Amino acid sequence: MVQQFEGKKPKSLEIFLKYIGISESLFNEIIEKHTVSPHKIDWASLELGAGVHDDKDWWCDNGLDNAQADEMISNWKSNQW
């Protein structure tokens, strides 16, 4: 199972980003802050992972308001070391 998903972009990422109201590039910026050295993410070679059996049934409407997401991200950035 690890080989199936490890090091791959989740197929559900687009839905998740819509829920939390941020772009993929901002998500990647946040993820890079949590990467353990010396590992570096090669975004260009990251392949799309397999979906799960019920992903077509997932609710996809009404994500977080962009203004709320911007405020949360600003707060997060101001609290970085």
Domain spans in the chain, listed from the N-terminal domain onward: 1-37+62-81
Reported as a single tens digit per residue, the pLDDT across 6-21 is 788 888 888 888 888 8
User: Nearest 5°: CA angle at 37, between 33 and 43?
Assistant: 60
- Tell me which amino acid residue 62 is: N
Burial class (CB in 10 A: 0-12, 13-18, 19+), 53: exposed
What pLDDT score does 69 carry?
85
Reported as a single tens digit per residue, the pLDDT across 24-76 is 999 999 988 888 889 888 888 888 888 888 877 887 777 777 888 888 888 88
Q: What's the pTM value of the predicted model, to 2 decimals?
A: 0.70
